[in-house]
Each structure stands twice: as structure tokens, then as C-alpha cells.
A and B are shown apart, each in its own frame.
Chain A
Amino acid sequence: MGSRTSSLLQAEEIEQIQKETGFSKRQIVRLYSRFTSLDKSDNGCLSREDLLRIPELAINPLGDRIIHAFFMDNPESKINFRQFMSTLSLFRPIKSHDKDIENPCNSRDNKLKFAFRMYDLDNSGMVTREELLVILQMMVGSNITEEQLGSIADRTIAEADEDNSGAISYENFVKALQRADVEQMMSIRFLN
């Protein structure tokens, strides 16, 4: 499988992706085979539908938003392999040589930005109470009342919101997660 897909992938392209994302060559080849297997229409691009077809992602409460995040910078709702890889590169574990590079794609900041996007659906830079409520509702079952959920949302905003804007800005969000080990939490081991 690997050899067939790698033949489709140009050597220069691999090198370029390698430079951009920091993935190793074998990782890129492996992910490319995944990319092509997801790409049912075989046109070198992934659409939302392609990703929605992944069965587990369909039942993930945040599945829609994760897919949405892939197409964030892309109005035509199509992403090619390079765009796909640049999103995935956020989740590469931080290695020692990453520190030499100026603003690596898998920095803590980028990881947090991705997480923030999960809340901030309209991309306004602020998470309002309504947006927070929506995401809470997605995650909880029926055991919890609307009212309780509302108070939890209020509390979350109150904890984070230092500038009294009634919403969580990205800076507030970063501060709320200050103590959390985001670098580790938001990293995946990519197979070679």
C-alpha cells in the first residue's frame, strides 16, 4: 500500500510538506495513504462529506466542529493533502529540535487556538455564553437540567473573564488553561 501511494506523491511535495510541518517522510507517506482512502471521489481533495463518513467521528459529539476546523481557512470546503497535513501538524508532539524553529506549527499557542475554535463557532474571537451553552449541551446527556447547565456556563465565563466583557476571549482562554499541560494533552503519536 505504502509503495503505491508514495508513487503518487511527488518527492518534492513530500520534502516541502516535511519542511512545513516537521513530519518525517514515512509519516507523510502513511498519512497520504490515509488521505487517499478517505478521498472517495478520488480527486485529490477531501470534502466535509468525506470526513463525515468516518463512523466514529460521526458519533463524536464534537465531530462536526472538528471537521469544520479542518476547513476553516478554506471557503470552497475542499482541502488538499497539504492543507490536511498542516492542520494535523498541530498535533505533532513537541520535540527538542522544534524549539530552534521560529514559531513552529505545533506550538502551544497553535494548539490552544485550535481548541478555542471548537468553542468559537462564528470565529469572532470571543466565546459568548450562548456558544458555551451549545457546546455543553453537545457533551452532556439528559441527567442535567437547562438551569444547571446555564449556571455552569456562567461560572465558566466568570472564572475566565477577567476583563468583564461577559464572554471569553482567546487571552482569557489561554489563561484558564495556564496550568494545564496542553502540549501533552493535545499531541498524538503519529506512526511511522
Chain B
Amino acid sequence: MRVTMATSRQHPFRVTSLFLPVLAILLVSQLVLTATANENTTSPVITHEAVDDTHGDNSSDEHEGGDAEPHRGHGGVHVASWNLKYVQLPLTVTFFALFVGVAKIGFHHADFLSAIFPESVLLIVLGVVFGGIAYATKQTGSFDSQTFFLYLLPPIILEAAYSLHDRTFADNLASILIYAVVGTLLNTFLIGLTLYGISLTGAYGNSFTVGLIECLIFSSLISAVDPVAVLAIFQEIHVNQVLYFLVFGESLLNDAVTVVLYNMMNSFLSLETIPASQIVLGFVSFFTVSLGGAVIGFLVGILTAFLTKFTKHVRVVEPLAILGMAYLSYLLAELFHFSGIISIICCGLAQAEYAFDNISRKSSTTVTYFTKMLSTTTESIIFLLLGQTLWAEKHQWNTGFVLCTLLFIFVYRVFGVVVITFVVNKFRIGKINKEEQFIMSYGGLRGAVAFSLVATLLPEDVPARNVFVTTTLVVILVTVFVQGTTIKPLVKLFRIKRSGQEDPTVALAIHQTVIDYVMAGIEEVIGHKGHNYVRMWIEKMNTHYIKKYLQRNPTSWEDEVMKTFEKVTNHDHHNHIFKLSRGEECRKNSETEIEKFKPMLTRGDSYFDSIRRRHTFKKTPGGEYMAISDKATPADVAGIMKKNPRNALHEKYDKNLLNDDCQDLPLLMRQRSTEHVLAQERITAMRAANKWRRAVRSSKSGGNVPATIAEENERKGDREQGEEDIVFLEDEGKSKEPIVKIEPEIIGNDDADTNV
């Protein structure tokens, strides 16, 4: 860690060096892609348009092909041979995934970028660069809708579903559903009709006209807020829970509306006239698609819980059961043309409620980590591919259409949110205020779902397809780039209530339950069974009937409290050991010093943790790096933590799994022991300094106390070295080494003194 610090000071251009591996991997994967393209097969991630052209190349590849399969072709032993055909598909996928991983590491270290831009923006830019290289080498990759829906999307939604297992979500479910269903419907029809109306006036130019159904197809796919884009942005701005779940929940649950409207409009295309019965059927299909998906998901989730009830002696299959069943729910729903997204959400929620208590702690960690890893990776791949498609698709630009779409999606989004909030607020206790409404409207990002839908349109059915594709891409880019980048400052500007990192306390868990019971009781007194009553009732049913059959050891409220209690006491336990071992040696004479060091030893981010990050170094106007003062008050430390862009980005959602270190006991112990050594050295140094200062004071007769320590240093001879280190300790500003080296004699002296 110290090495990093040193290099950071000596090489201000470290970021460029960090990008080198990124570029290297990029080039390598590009090479592989090129090679695989020559091999003429389509990979699941990248599909190649020029399939027909490359068919002819087969003969020219004969030579390589022969080499690739030595055991089949001409005889003789090959010491080494080129066997690309055999591995190319997994190889491409692996390279791609690893590239994404390396790119993320790169962004992580390029603070100046990630402080301003969200990761999704950077990935799209990278995708554009990547696609540019591919384009230059005549290899065009494109975004494959099937890959997207079957492989890339499910992990993200599953991970999101687990995060929805939260009381705030349940409390706000009604509002979220209204936003998702009514809001999306409203937007679709308003945008579709407006675009059609403008088309009638001929504002898009003479050569371009669109029909009503075409407009509605387009509006049905463009009006839905995209879960992937929203998640990517909202994870990073950590607004309060209610706002987060309102936007994010809406983006997830509007899927059924989008699917139904999109399919309905597509089927209308082939009809000459649209009979009313078709519209009624469309309305009915909304219920089958959404509820069918929900029921499949819930049943599969229940089945998972039932399955995991019997895995006590076969722990190893637990993660498989959870993840496999979740994917099954998605595929089953898609099999019947139901909403796979809604299905996997319901499945994930049921699993989180019932199955997670059956599986071992390690299994649940595995599930959490695996879904998190998978979803982060696929999310990045999606954005990267989106960037690439900029080069791949056949574009047709229509300024009028693009501008109108951009304008109206924003106008109607605001309109929809304001109208629905007006209604919803009448029934809510915690009202959604104006600023939050603005963030809700502004957070309506469009993303890859819209693009995959538009890409599946056929030019034969929809003549305006290419215009739609271009417009969708522009909308996605504008919403993700402009809104995604500016939403964070706006959240700050409007002083939107943020979510803090809250340590759970036992007291809070208990008080919360008491209040819940009180509120349920009061609702019974006034005879109006409101949501408190419903919550109590559901909880009772859950505990008494459902959990009994689905869980090995049915959990209840007290287990929740016990869990919190264990967590808190564990935390305390670690802290306690740390303090004890430190305190025992210097308890006698340095109570005050312990006070001074308290900020470093407080829970969570200890001071030494932050020293070792280079972010505690400020860059002075002169260009040199300066360490932030040693005498950091707790407020300072908090400030540093906030200013550190990396922490600001990953605080809430912990996308990069940073704060989970405490699961790792050995690591924690190691970390603590190094901190301990550092703290120890520092305390000894401080003590020596104080002692020495006292000695100086007493030796000088009265008023002749030196003004600065530096002066004293000059006067002192023998113990110069040690004192200089102490000076550094007092004023770390110009220091190069944060670690104090103390002359052995001083420590010896000091120890002798304490013993007296």
C-alpha cells in the first residue's frame, strides 16, 4: 500500500499506465474477434453480419483448419498447433468478459473520470472505441437481441430482485405499480399519437412518413424506463430508499406493459382493420403476461424453498438450486410469452423470503457474490455492446423525428410523473415532493431493452425501422449521457434526502416492531384496516402457515432481532479486541492520547485505512502531493471519505463488494494487526514527543521556551533524528513517509519512564 502511495507521488501520470493493460486487452480481444470472424462462426455475444461473404472464405481457411484438427487430418504428431476453431466461442466470450473486468479496474483507478461520469457512460464510450476498431478492420459486431434477453438480462434482474426484498419496496408497492402501469401506458399513447400527429403535418420531411401503428410500436418500446440503465445510474447516486425504489421498481415492473403493447402493436401491423375484439384481447393479455409471469415466478420460488429444505447434507447444491431455479422461472415465463422479468423478480423475492433461510451462510454468500459478479459483468457487457452498435446498424438519420422524440419523451415523462404523483400523493402518508418528482422524471433513462426491441423489428414490416433504430440509439445515448451525468449534481442541488450508511442497531429493530404493533393496534381501534393491519396479517400468515412448510427452521421476528444482535455484537467484539490489545500497553499514562487517536480507531473506516489510500493526499496548486493533516478530526475523516469519488460512487449499493471484507475474519485480523502496529508506533512517538517537550520546558528556566519545534531541533544535538520524526508527526504536511521511525533509545527511555 505504501508503494502505491509513493508511486502516486512520483508518477502523476499513473492513470495512463493503468490504462495500458486495458488497451492491451482491448487489442488482444480485438485480434481474437477478428480471428474468430475469419473462422466464420457466430459467437453468442458478437454476431457477424457478413456471414454470407465469409462462407466463401472457408477454402482459404483450409490451411488453418487442417492445422486445427491434427488428429483427424494428415498424420504425424504436432508439438504445437493452432486450434482456434475448437475454442473460439468460449474464448471470445471469456476475453470479452475479462476485458470488461479490466476496463472496470481501469475506471476505478481513473478517479477523475469516474467522479464525473457514471460507469455506464464510460463503458459506452469504450464500446464506441472498440466498435470503431472493429469497423476499421471490417468486422462489424452487432447487438443480438436473443443473447440480450436470454443471457445478459436475467442475472441483472435476479440481482435486482434480491435487492427488492426490502420493507421500503413492499410499503411502496402500490405507488410503484401505478407508476409502472399507468405511467407507461400514458407515455406510450401520448408519445405515439404526438409523433403520428407531427408526421401528418409533414415536419419530418417529404420523404419520410410513418403510420399510426408504426408510431405506436416505436412509442411502446421507447417509453419504458429501462431497468439496466436506471440501476447503473441510481446505484451510484444513492438517493433515499423511497425514491430509489420508486424509480427502480417502476423500471422493472413496467416490463409487462412494454411486452404486451409491443406485441399487440406488432400483431396489429399485419391486420388491415383492427377489430375491437383484438384490443380487448390485448387488454386481457396484459393480465396473462404480468400475472402469468408472477405466478410462475412465485411457484418456482416456493419450489426452491421446498427443495432447499432438504439440502442440509448436500450443501454444495444449494447455490445451484437457487440460481438454477431462478433462471428456470425466467425461461418458463418466456416459454409462454409471459414477462420473464416479472417472473424472475417474483421468484427472487420468494427465494429471498423463504429459501435464503434454509441455505447455509456460505451458500447464501455464494449466491450473493455470484449474482453480483454476473450482473455487474453482464451489465458492463450490455453497455459496451450498446456502444459498439453505433457502428454496426444501418442508420437513417431524420433530424425532425429524432428531435421530436427526444423532446416528447422528456415532456411526457415529466407530465406523467406529475399527474400520477398528484393522484398517488392523496393516498400516501409520506408525500413525494416536487424535487423528488423532478428526479423521478429526470431518472427516466432508456436503455438496452428498448434497443433490443427495436433491433428485432423487420424492415419488411416496418419501413421506418432504420429511422427508429437510429432514434432509439440517440435517445439512449442522450438519456444515459446527459441525464445520467447530470443527475448526481442535481440530486445535490435539490437537496434530495440521501440514504446514509446506517449501522443496524438492536434498539432500532425493537422499537420498529413495537411501533408496528402500536400502529396495527390503533388501526384496529379506529376500525379502518390500513396497511399496518395488512402487514401484520401477512406476517402472521407467513409465520404460521407458509414458513412452516417451506423452511427447515421457520424464522420469525425474534430471529431477525437475534441476527441484528449477532451482527452488532460481532462488530463490537472485533473492535473490542483491537482496543484491548492496544489499550493494555499504554493505558497508564496516555488516556489523553487515546482520545487523540479515537478518530482513527472509530468503527468502520479507521484512519489508517484512509492513510493508506492515496486519496488522503491533496494535490497542491504547485503540483506536488500533500498529505492531509495527521490531526484529522472525525469530521475531517468523514469529509475525506465523502470527497473520495470512489467512496461516493460505491457507498450505498456496494456494487463492487467492498464492505463485505468483514466476512473474512482472517483478513480482518491481518488488517487489524497492521493497523495496530501503526497505531502503536504512532502512540509511542507521540508519547516520546510529549515527554521530550516536557523535558525541554523544565530544562529551560521559565520563559525561554522555543517558539517552534523546528528551532528546538536545531538546538538539540544527539536526539535530533528522533525528534525530526516527531516533528513530522505533528505536521505531516511535508512528510514523505507516514510511518514514523523512532530511535530505539527514545523508545527505551520512554518505556523506562512509564515503568516508574
Q: Please state if A187 and B429 are interface contacts (CB–CB under 8 Å).
A: yes
Task: Give the residues from 415 to 465 in chain B that come closer than 8 angstroms, CB to CB, to chain A.
Answer: 427, 429-430
Task: Give the residues from 97 to 152 in chain A that come closer than 8 angstroms, CB to CB, to chain B.
Answer: 114-115, 118-119, 135-136, 139-141, 143-144, 148, 151-152
Q: Please state if B522 and A156 are interface contacts (CB–CB under 8 Å).
A: no
**Is A185 close to B, CB under 8 A?**
yes
Tell whether A179 pairs with B502 under 8 Å between CB atoms, given A139-B517, A144-B558, A156-B507: yes
**Is B677 close to A, CB under 8 A?**
no
**A180 closest partner in B (C-beta):** B508
Q: Tell me which residues across on chain A come within 8 A of B502, comparing CB atoms.
A: 179
**A149 closest partner in B (C-beta):** B558
Count of CB-CB pairs between chains A and B under 8 Å? 119
Interface of B is mostly: helix
Complex partner residue of B524 from A60, A119, A139, CB under 8 angstroms: A60
Q: Please state if A54 and B525 are interface contacts (CB–CB under 8 Å).
A: yes
Q: Please state if A60 and B558 are interface contacts (CB–CB under 8 Å).
A: no
Contact-residue bracket for chain B:
35 or more
Q: Please state if A186 and B518 are interface contacts (CB–CB under 8 Å).
A: yes
Q: Tell me which residues across on chain B come within 8 A of A140, comparing CB atoms.
A: 557-558, 561
Q: Please state if A88 and B557 are interface contacts (CB–CB under 8 Å).
A: no
Q: Tell me which residues across on chain B come within 8 A of A51, comparing CB atoms.
A: 525
Q: Tell me which residues across on chain B come within 8 A of A38, comparing CB atoms.
A: 525, 527
Q: How far is the CB of A66 from chain B (nearest CB, A)?
A: 4
Q: Tell me which residues across on chain B come within 8 A of A180, comparing CB atoms.
A: 508, 511-512
Tell whether A141 pairs with B506 under 8 Å between CB atoms, given A57-B524, A91-B519, A186-B519: no
1/0 contact trace for B498-517 toward A, CB 8 Å?
00101001111011111101
**B561 closest partner in A (C-beta):** A152
Complex partner residue of B525 from A57, A61, A139, A155, CB under 8 angstroms: A57
Q: Please state if A188 and B514 are interface contacts (CB–CB under 8 Å).
A: no
Q: Tell me which residues across on chain B come within 8 A of A63, comparing CB atoms.
A: 521
Contact-residue bracket for chain A:
35 or more
Complex partner residue of B430 from A56, A119, A184, CB under 8 angstroms: A184
Tell whether A115 pairs with B514 under 8 Å between CB atoms, given A156-B506, A176-B505, A181-B430: yes
**Is B562 close to A, CB under 8 A?**
yes
**A37 closest partner in B (C-beta):** B527
Tell whether A177 pairs with B511 under 8 Å between CB atoms, given A51-B525, A140-B557: yes
Q: Please state if B517 and A115 are interface contacts (CB–CB under 8 Å).
A: no
Q: Tell me which residues across on chain A come within 8 A of B526, comparing CB atoms.
A: 31, 34, 88, 188, 190
Q: How far is the CB of A33 from chain B (nearest CB, A)?
A: 9
CA distance in complex: A177, B512 (Å): 9
**B559 closest partner in A (C-beta):** A143
**Is B569 close to A, CB under 8 A?**
yes
Q: Please state if A160 and B507 are interface contacts (CB–CB under 8 Å).
A: yes
**Is B478 close to A, CB under 8 A?**
no
**Is A162 close to B, CB under 8 A?**
no
**Is A191 close to B, CB under 8 A?**
yes
CA distance in complex: A152, B563 (Å): 11
Q: Tell me which residues across on chain A come within 8 A of B561, comparing CB atoms.
A: 140, 152
Q: Please state if A91 and B508 are interface contacts (CB–CB under 8 Å).
A: no
Q: How far is the CB of A28 from chain B (nearest CB, A)?
A: 12
Tell whether A155 pairs with B519 under 8 Å between CB atoms, given A93-B429, A144-B558, A187-B429: no
**Is A189 close to B, CB under 8 A?**
yes
Binding stretch for chain A, among B141-149, B528-536, B590-598, B694-702: B528-536
**Is A171 close to B, CB under 8 A?**
no
**Is A159 close to B, CB under 8 A?**
yes
Complex partner residue of B527 from A34, A66, A135, A176, CB under 8 angstroms: A34
**A62 closest partner in B (C-beta):** B517
**Is B658 close to A, CB under 8 A?**
no
Task: Give the residues from 33 to 78 in chain A that come closer than 8 angstroms, CB to CB, to chain B.
Answer: 34, 37-38, 51, 54, 56-57, 60-63, 66, 70
5 contacting pairs across A/B (C-beta < 8 A) = A56-B524, A66-B518, A160-B507, A188-B528, A190-B526
What 10 pairs between A and B have smallest CB-CB spacing?
A: A66-B521, A140-B558, A62-B517, A184-B430, A56-B524, A176-B507, A34-B527, A156-B507, A144-B558, A159-B507
A60-B521, A155-B507, A188-B429 known; 17 other A-B pairs, CB under 8 Å? A34-B526, A38-B525, A38-B527, A61-B517, A88-B522, A118-B514, A135-B514, A139-B558, A141-B558, A143-B556, A152-B506, A152-B510, A155-B565, A184-B429, A184-B430, A188-B530, A189-B530
A residues near B (Cβ < 8 Å) are 31, 34, 37-38, 51, 54, 56-57, 60-63, 66, 70, 88, 91, 93, 114-115, 118-119, 135-136, 139-141, 143-144, 148, 151-152, 155-156, 159-160, 173, 176-177, 179-182, 184-191
